[in-house]
Amino acid sequence: MNIYEYPSRGQYKALLARPTLSFAEIEMRVRPIIDEVAQKGDEALRKFALDFDNILLNDFKVTDAELRDAENQISVELKNAIDQAYENISVFHKAQQVEEAQVETMPGVFCWRKSVGIQKVGIYIPGGSAPLFSTVLMLAIPAQIAGCQQIVLCSPSNHPAIYYAAQKCGITEAYRIGGAQAVAAMAVGTETVPAVYKIFGPGNQYVTAAKQIVSQMGVAIDMPAGPSEVAVLADHRANAAFIASDLLSQAEHGADSQVLLVGTDKDIILKTIEEVKLQLAFLPRKELAAKALENSKAILVKDLDEATYLLNEYAAEHLILSIENPEEVAANIVNAGSIFLGDYTPESCGDYASGTNHTLPTNGYARAYSGVSLDSFVKKITYQKISKAGLEKLGPIVEIMAEAEQLDAHKNAVTIRLKNIKDQA
């Protein structure tokens, strides 16, 4: 980690800059994949599975038996842990259901909104060594609560923990396909894979590029993606070992992980860097983590106000406040994905089981984007109903405004009705 002592505000922009993400080149390779899936359907999926992953795809729809039997193929303790995480995530996301009241904006003018689950959603879960069953929970639980009718899972992994989570969350169908072609399949539909209206989930740069491309084709996506990141704010009394473990949690995700330590006490920063070295030695993923740490920064600032300013400039995906009164700083943070308050709230609790969602805006997107929540799986339709008396009040206002915008047919839609009401009287 590189230490920066009391940088000026003018230096923050350069100091906090993330690596530039360019998908231009990858997009050029992914676009033909999407086109081919659109044209040839399952045949293209089989071809790409063979070409890219050396897999002979026959039936790639996961059977009901596979989903059902998954429960018996994981340990009881993992099953129980998933069950408890399911409970906590459900409780937190159910609390996001709100019924909005009908509003009578003027006498006789009634307006309201209703949340309606997106009918068809797709969830992508990458393969690789570690099966990300936690992401199945994070995406399928809110989909289930939202009342999405069709929840489709695509994953190259057939790990039973993924299937156990899938069946628990009401996933209606699962397909053993991966990569950009899986995203394409959910976007355009094939003989086997249904087309969905919104696609969620993490993935490598090909998956990310595929999501970006299909989002320009009319399919919604959860949010733009970038490397995962954490910022930790530590004061003089923070526990260096705790902080080091949090920085390493982020670093182990990959060499491109963004790790930022902001401190008001030089001593704690130095101790934390020592602790990072100690703990790193014991990690199986130490090489990846070490790489991420090479580019990471520790910034010493003069006080918590300055730290708040800096952290709002950075807009971290995860922000851990290892300080004495975390609520005070949290109240002034306006740009962050998820905030962890106090010494005993490690990010990994939010990643797995506290109840909050772990799909969060990276790359500074927290300035404008929220993390995934129940909101991500619903549309809010607006409604209005106007009584004759209401139109008599509201109509003349609309007539004046429509005329001023030179939209005469808009005006006429009111005039013709007002005349009808008058004729009836």
Instruction: Classify 72 as helix, strand or coil.
Output: helix
**Closer Cβ to a copy of itself, 50 or 368, answer by number:** 368
Shortest Å distance, C-beta 54 to a copy of itself: 23
Whether residue 25 lies in the annotated active site: no
Check 229, 252, 275, 317 and give the catalytic one. 317
- Report the run of H or E that residue 309 belongs to, with start and end: helix 304-314
Extract the annotated binding site for substrate: 228, 250, 253, 318, 351, 405, 410
- Cα–Cα distance, 41 to 287 (Å, whole number): 40
User: Measured on CA atoms in the order 213, 216, 218, 224, is the torsion positive or negative?
Assistant: positive
Taking each helix axis from N to C end, the angle separating 240-251 and 286-294, rounded to the nearest 10 degrees, works out to 100
Q: How far is CA 281 from CA 185, 248, 257, 285, 413, in A?
A: 42, 11, 18, 9, 74
CA distance 385 to 405: 24
Q: How far is the CB of 413 from a copy of itself (least distance, A)?
A: 4
The CA distance from 266 to 174, in Å, is: 51
Residue 66 beta carbon to a copy of itself: minimum distance, rounded to whole angstroms = 19
287 vs 310: CA distance, rounded Å: 29
329: buried, middle or exposed (CB in 10 Å: 19+, 13-18, 0-12)? Answer: buried
Beta strand 103-106 with 109-117: parallel, antiparallel or unpaired? antiparallel
**Active-site option among 93, 159, 318, 358:** 318
Which of 147, 168, 159, 151 lies closest to 82 in space, CA to CA?
Answer: 168
DSSP one-letter code for 128: S
* Amino acid (one-letter) located at 359: T
159 catalytic residue (yes or no) = no
**The residue to which tokens 């609390």 are assigned:** 95
Give phi and psi for 22, each to the nearest 5.
Answer: -125, 120
Q: How far apart, in whole angstroms, are the C-alpha atoms of residue 333 and residue 304?
A: 11
Minimum separation from the CB atom of position 352 to a copy of itself (A): 5
Using CA atoms, how far residue 412 sits from 201, 334, 402, in Å, is: 47, 46, 9
> Would you list which residues are annotated within the binding site for NAD(+)?
124, 181, 204
Q: If you compute the radius of gyration of the chain from its CA atoms, what whole number of angstroms results?
A: 26
Q: Any idea which residues carry the catalytic annotation?
A: 317-318
